[in-house]
Amino acid sequence: MIEKTVKIINKAGLHTRPAATIVKLASKYKCEFYIAKDGLNINGKSIIGVMTLAAEMGSELILTFDGEDEQLACNEITDFFGRGFDEP
Amino acid sequence: MKTFKQVYNDADNKVHGIAAAPGIVIGKVYLFTKEKLEINDSEVTNVEEAKSDLEEALKQSKKELTKVFSIAREKMDATRSAIFEAQLMILDDPVLLKSIEERIEKEKRQPEYVVFDEITKYQDIMKHSREAYINERAHDIDDIKNRIIRNLQKKRWQSRITKDTIVVSDMLTPADTLLLSRSNVKGFVTDHGGLTSHAAIISRSLNIPAVVGTHDITKHIKENDTIIVDGFHGYVLINPTKEQKEFFTSKFEHLVELQKGLEEFKDKPALTKDGREILLYANVDVSGEIDVVVTSGANGIGLYRTEQILEELSEFPTEDEQVKIYSNLSSRIYPNILTIRAFDIGGDKFRLSESTEANPFLGLRGIRLLLENPSLFRTQIRAVLKASQNRNIRFMLPMVSTIMEIKKAKAIIHECEEELKKENCSFDRHFKMGIMVEVPAAAVMTKEFSKEVDFLSIGTNDLIQYLMAVDRGNDLVSDLYQEFSPAVLRTIYHILTAAKESKKEVSFCGEMAADTLAIPLLVGLGATSLSMSPATIPYAKRIIRYLNYEHAKQLAQDCLNCTNEVEVIRLIEKFFKDHSITRTRQII
């Protein structure tokens, strides 16, 4: 299992478009993927779940990956966070 | 024998509304109300069936959303399109679907209840978030939640409608009417809606008696009550007495005979006594109607409302699908003409933008919407052109208000023709294009507009609505929707006169063309072609064959000089009496 803390760096925060992209990225992998914030632990492959997360610029999320392809999933998804969801 | 008037005067079980589609029918009530989304929490006996219903409802919801998305894509901003995409993804959400299925299995509850409860849980989390934008998401999710539930309920409703049912509803959308008509419904009664609401139009074209705009019949009626629907006079009798039943049974038999009598007109032209021929075309809403058109003795199809394809198919039709539909109609009606009207859809229906329009009837609809969504428009134009090989198809633009719209549309049609030439596709090289005259601005500018096009068609429904500034679906003001207002007559006369100068054909395709009272007047004003629901063609033909054009002309001149609608109607009624022409309403 891998655990990673990521920071929201784009202005608009985790809005619907990046939420959809994260779920799509996660769905490509077999491993389990969870996002923890404010006491909620949300399955990252569930769009309706990810949409309940309030994450404005500057907030931190804990990502966990568990399964055979966890390293690949972790790389791609943390990279997407790192790029600020390709947004300003 | 009593008259209708006496029967209704004596009746204390009557409800009055607007006579929307002719015919008389007796049957059991099926109440179809949807103002509030009520969730059924009963137990399910067959879990497998419940699960497959859920799967079907998800599939249907996906189709609907994809359709909206494909129409709206070009107009949507990034936020709205992300919300659409997220809604689509929710329909595939593995976590959500798994918990819904598990609960249906374990708790044996209606899928609609479980869907409601599961999605509401997520919405509650969103509503309690300290971030405002997350609170708003709860609303976005409402849309998808209600869509799935509606589709689940439709399935339940359909299974409960039996053959002899009369559907009583607060309001029917075109999609509901179509759905219900497939289940052999015998009649329709609604609280809301006017003569020209879609439910009324579709009832007429499917030949199902209907009374609309009763205000509150759903409050006086229970499921399984027996009712009589009189679509000629606009009355409904709830749990009729023995005497009432007998009266209507005899009228019903009389009606069947009358219809047989009308058949003799089928192969005769609509010729006035002094030899003026009026072409009678059919309005077609659903492609299944073509059989009625062929047997009605119509001179062709004067209006094919293609937006109904969107109601029939849940997905947006591809070019190939459209080619198939248009070619089929074109061949069936050949050598007569088929007039295809471009999609007349409003932005309100498809939520094209973040903000809903305050006045959708004055907003993005008809040609305005098509020009804003060129790929949608081009797909249709290419399909119509490809289907035009029989050379009997012409194409018509809805809601035109400026000459620029005509010029822009013509340029797009020209581009599509060039494309097809390059692709070596054959099509009618003398393809005819016309416009609807339904916006007062177009009526005023008829002379100039008609130079740009091959033909014109007066859409009386919208023309009257815009001219009188009245919403025809709003029964609070629908009495201002006056077909016989001198303002309407003078406008029509202006259009006909202006188009005559440029020698362009003008036809009528609104409900007015099918009103037996209006026919002598329209003929007298100079109309040479009328388009109407196929079922009403024999009635119109009968009237025209009793008419004398010279007399009708005099009637029209007299009516043009009137100051109000009442005077006009009085003159026309006197005309019918003086020339001993009986109207259908008086015959039965």
- The predicted pLDDT at position B37 comes to 64
Report whether A44 contacts A6 (CB < 8 A).
no
B137 Cβ under 8 Å from any chain A Cβ: yes
- The predicted pLDDT at position B158 comes to 65
Position B68 pLDDT exceeds 80: no
d(CA B308, CA B287): 9
Determine the residue type at B38: E
β-pair partners for B190: B169
Position B350 pLDDT exceeds 60: no
CB within 8 Å of B241: residues ≥ 6 apart: B13
- The predicted pLDDT at position B162 comes to 66
Judge whether A79 counts as a catalytic residue: no
Between residues B292 and B97, the one the model is more confident about: B97
- The predicted pLDDT at position B19 comes to 84
Q: Quick: pLDDT tens for B541-583.
A: 989 999 999 999 999 999 999 999 999 999 999 999 999 887 7
What mean pLDDT is predicted for residues B152-160?
72
- The predicted pLDDT at position B495 comes to 97
Position B433 pLDDT exceeds 90: yes
The domain defined by B4-35+170-245 folds into Glucose Oxidase; domain 1 (3.50.30)
CA end-to-end distance (rounded Å), chain B: 12
Chain B residues with CB under 8 Å of A54 CB are: 129-131, 133-134
Task: Supply the CATH number for residue A48's domain.
Answer: 3.30.1340.10
Position B86 pLDDT exceeds 60: yes
Backbone dihedral region of B391: left (phi > 0), alpha (psi from -120 to 50 degrees) or beta?
A: left
Q: How confident is the model at residue B354 (pLDDT cuts 50, 70, 90)?
A: very low
Position B586 pLDDT exceeds 60: no
What mean pLDDT is predicted for residues B465-480?
86
- CB pair distance less than 8 Å for B125 and A45: no
In the 8-state DSSP scheme, what is residue B275? S
**Residue B68 belongs to what H/E stretch?**
helix B47-72
**Pairing verdict, β B24-32 and B226-230:** antiparallel
Position B74 pLDDT exceeds 70: no
Which region among A34-43, B3-12, B397-406, B566-575 has the lowest average model confidence (pLDDT)?
B3-12
Between residues B25 and B142, the one the model is more confident about: B25
Overall domain count for chain A: 1
| Residue of B125, B98, B86 lying closest to A24 (CA atoms) | B86
Position B348 pLDDT exceeds 90: no
Q: How confident is the model at residue B404 (pLDDT cuts 50, 70, 90)?
A: very high
Between residues B252 and B71, the one the model is more confident about: B252
3-state secondary structure of B201: helix
For Cα atoms B451, B457, B459, give the angle at the middle one, nearest 5 degrees. 135
Q: Which of A13, A47, A56 has its CB closest to that of B86? A: A47
d(CA B126, CA B137): 7
Which region among A7-16, B15-24, B74-83, B278-287 has the lowest average model confidence (pLDDT)?
B74-83
Q: Quick: pLDDT tens for B363-383.
A: 889 999 999 889 889 999 999
Strands, E assignment, B49-169: 165-169
What mean pLDDT is predicted for residues B440-446?
98
Q: Which of A17, A46, A49 has its CB closest to that of B82? A: A17
Q: How confident is the model at residue B279 (pLDDT cuts 50, 70, 90)?
A: very high
d(CA B271, CA B541): 8
Cut 0.80: pTM above it: no
Domain edges within chain B: 4-35+170-245, 47-160, 268-353+361-587
Judge whether B509 counts as a catalytic residue: yes
- Mean pLDDT score of chain A: 92
Decide yes or no: CATH 3.40.50.300 for domain B268-353+361-587.
no
Between residues B496 and A56, the one the model is more confident about: B496
- The predicted pLDDT at position B31 comes to 84
| Residue of B38, B158, B49, B57 lying closest to B108 (CA atoms) | B49
Chain B residues with CB under 8 Å of A19 CB are: 86
d(CA B397, CA A33): 53
Position B353 pLDDT exceeds 60: no
Chain B residues with CB under 8 Å of A43 CB are: 95
Determine the residue type at B120: T
Q: Quick: pLDDT tens for B171-213.
A: 776 666 766 766 678 899 998 877 767 677 777 777 789 999 8
Question: From the CA of A71, how many Å to the nearest CA of chain B?
Answer: 22
3-state secondary structure of B187: strand
What domain range includes position A10?
A: 2-86
Burial class (CB in 10 A: 0-12, 13-18, 19+), B340: buried
Q: Quick: pLDDT tens for B286-309.
A: 666 677 787 778 899 999 989 878
Question: From the CA of A77, how many Å to the nearest CA of chain B?
Answer: 18
- Mean pLDDT score of chain B: 87
**Pairing verdict, β B432-437 and B18-21:** unpaired
- The predicted pLDDT at position B294 comes to 78
- The predicted pLDDT at position B127 comes to 87
- The predicted pLDDT at position B121 comes to 93
Superfamily covering domain B47-160: PtsI, HPr-binding domain (1.10.274.10)
Q: For the CA atoms of chain A, what is the radius of gyration?
A: 12
- The predicted pLDDT at position B268 comes to 86
What mean pLDDT is predicted for residues A46-65?
92
3-state secondary structure of B200: helix
Q: Which of A48, A52, A54 has its CB closest to that of B93? A: A48
Chain A residues with CB under 8 Å of B96 CB are: 46, 48-49
Between residues B334 and B69, the one the model is more confident about: B334
| Residue of B380, B397, B385 lying closest to B344 (CA atoms) | B397
